[in-house]
Amino acid sequence: MVHFVFMPKKPLKAYRNQEFLNSPEARAIRVQCELVEPEKRFREKDVSHTIVFFGSARCPSLENATDEFSKRRADSYEAARALSRKLTQWSDELPDASKRLVVCSGGGPGIMEAANRGARDADGQSVALGISLPFEQGVNEYACPDLSFEFHYFFVRKFYFLYHAKALVVFPGGFGTMDELFESLTLIQTGKLDKKLPIILYDKEFWNDIIDFDQFARWGVISPDDLNLFSFADNVDEAFSQVVEGLQAYHL
């Protein structure tokens, strides 16, 4: 007679159930993962303070510029790269290591790539807060792998842009850049961002062509003092000086 031994089957644990974890019902769990996991990596890498670079994904490097218009956009790429390198070198020489600042970008091409590339030029670390988009394939090659992220939720990514930020440098960009700039200004204006940080808009001609900031105050929809929340820079040295002066005033 053959005897069969019954082996009870273990049910699948909820936290191993991929179908559930990818379902609408588990959205809150996925959001929490995107909030908690990056901070664990930041602590492991001793990253507490960042200098955030915003700007267009469509600015090519000078070697990849193909016409006069793209060469002008390439000027922004090269400026972002040079500024990132200069700030990384300056930060690495700070006497207090706990105040060290790390360049942070959105992880994509263009200005984001230039920021990460400049930090690598200086043999420094940099953060890449990527976002899953149908027309972008992962983070750029210059970001540190251990500090590279791919977010699904825009609002969690935005949280990490500003949570550790001690300065913002905003290069010419499109809708995404405008969204990031104006959300940052709104959080500061309304006191929801409980810290002061320098915000530098690079290339005054671009910004004046796109936005007449003075008209906000003239129409009374912002206070004239709100125009002091940011400044303009037209070259790398000027931007560097404004960032450092702001950091010395509010961070160091």
pLDDT bin (cut points 50, 70, 90) of residue 139 is: very high
pLDDT bin (cut points 50, 70, 90) of residue 241 is: very high
Is the model's pLDDT at 63 over the cut of 90?
no
- The alpha carbon of residue 143 and the mean position of all alpha carbons in its chain are separated, in whole angstroms, by 12
pLDDT bin (cut points 50, 70, 90) of residue 10 is: confident
pLDDT bin (cut points 50, 70, 90) of residue 6 is: low
Question: In 3-state terms, what secondary structure has residue 135?
Answer: coil
Instruction: Answer for the pair 176, 205: CB distance below 8 angstroms, yes or no.
Output: no
Name the pairing type of β-strands 165-170 and 148-151: unpaired
Pair of tokens at residue 38: 């990056």
- Whole-number Å distance between alpha carbons of 127 and 107: 8
Total-model pTM: 0.93
The residues that bridge with 158 in the sheet, in sequence order, are none
Query: From edge to edge, which strands make up the β-sheet containing 231-233?
Result: 148-151, 126-131, 102-105, 50-54, 165-170, 199-202, 231-233
- What is the pLDDT averaged over residues 82-95? 97
**Helical ranges in 106-174 per DSSP H:** 111-121, 154-163
What pLDDT score does 64 carry? 85
Phi, psi of 35, deg, nearest 5: -80, -35
Q: Which CATH class is domain 53-250?
A: alpha beta
The type of residue at 67 is D
Is the model's pLDDT at 153 over the cut of 80?
yes
- Whole-number Å distance between alpha carbons of 14 and 86: 48
